[in-house]
Structure 1
Amino acid sequence: MSADSNYSEIEILRLIAEGDEQAFTVLYNRYWNKVYTYLLRMTKSHEIAEELLYDIFTKLWTGRELITEIQHMDAFLSKVAYNKAISFFRYTASQRKMQQLVAQQMEHARVDDAADKLLDNEARELLQEAIRQLSPQRKLVFTLSREQGLTHEQIARQLNLSTQTVKKTMSNALSTIREFLHKRGMEGAVLLYFYMESKK
């Protein structure tokens, strides 16, 4: 598809899930400026805002198999961007030279309330429980894909499997996790969200 495509967002997300890089470029062009502006407003730094923006969209691409489950991309990216900025503040707070500046910025940033934190912790625990219940092969393929960022082709070479087998194994793993989360009242997009939020 062309970079200036007028495809609906649902169609664009479907194409991204299938690995269409041009469709991802279309999505990026639609949202990067809003996300960047928000990050810049919070961090007051062009360099930091650009780094966080890059990290957000890189992880969105890495987790593309689940992208079609995001019903409200605008709200999803806003929440991820907010948490990325807060994580940056918390990290730099450990650096003495940054403590005073960070404290000032944190005063103007909205802090998650206790209910949100409890919900996030519960979701992370459920996700880890779902992963633990996968079969050994599914867990290995899932871990190589999600935690190490390997492509299906790289996983196939590493495990001496066919690419088709890796794709099927990954699809089955995601289906199992979705079903596990759904039975506990959580959406499948939670999986993508928390992997975007991991390893900050």
Structure 2
Amino acid sequence: MAIKPVHNEPLLLKQVSLGDPEAFAQLFRAYHQPLAEYVHRLTESQEMTEDIVQDVFIKLWMKRETLPELNNFVHYLFILSRNRTFNCLREKANKQVRQMRWASQFEKVTTQDAPPPEEDYRALIDVAVAQLPPQQQKVYFLSRYQHLKHKEIAAQLGISIETAKKHMKLALRSITQYVRAHINALLLLLIWILFHR
């Protein structure tokens, strides 16, 4: 990717090497966007791109004393970015492979001697339901366990249909938030069981 160096690049590099934050900000403004475009083409991830570019500029600042010695700063910048990008992509691929292995191991465990994961999941939902306000609990119970419609729930509880719908909506939102917040702990527990059997 061809990028023209800024006209006063040698001076900026010298100033940055002496710890001048304004000179560093100028370098950042000059090269951040083209660098981000380059990295994004490799990662196809905005979040990963932002992290990588930030890491690259942090590394530049940490090694600022060596910058005036560089013959081609732009080339160095892109090599640094490319290497960091490939490392991140490698880490991501390794993580995905590990997750696939864990999923495979979990499947073996649950089909052999461990309780099915649905039971753990249902237990989480039960705890979440127990923490709901009483009226939301009643509406949820009548809907999910007695399979009543909103109109029937409203009639049984002496509330309007809209109120029944609102309670159900709030109950489902609370349950979802609780399960999402605690599912990682459940996964960690399963991992621990898997590797300490």
TM over 0.5: no
TM-score by length of 2: 0.45
TM-score by length of 1: 0.44
Q: Which has the higher helix share?
A: 2
CA radius of gyration, larger in:
2
* Greater relative contact order, per chain length (Cα 8 Å cut-off, separation 6+): 1
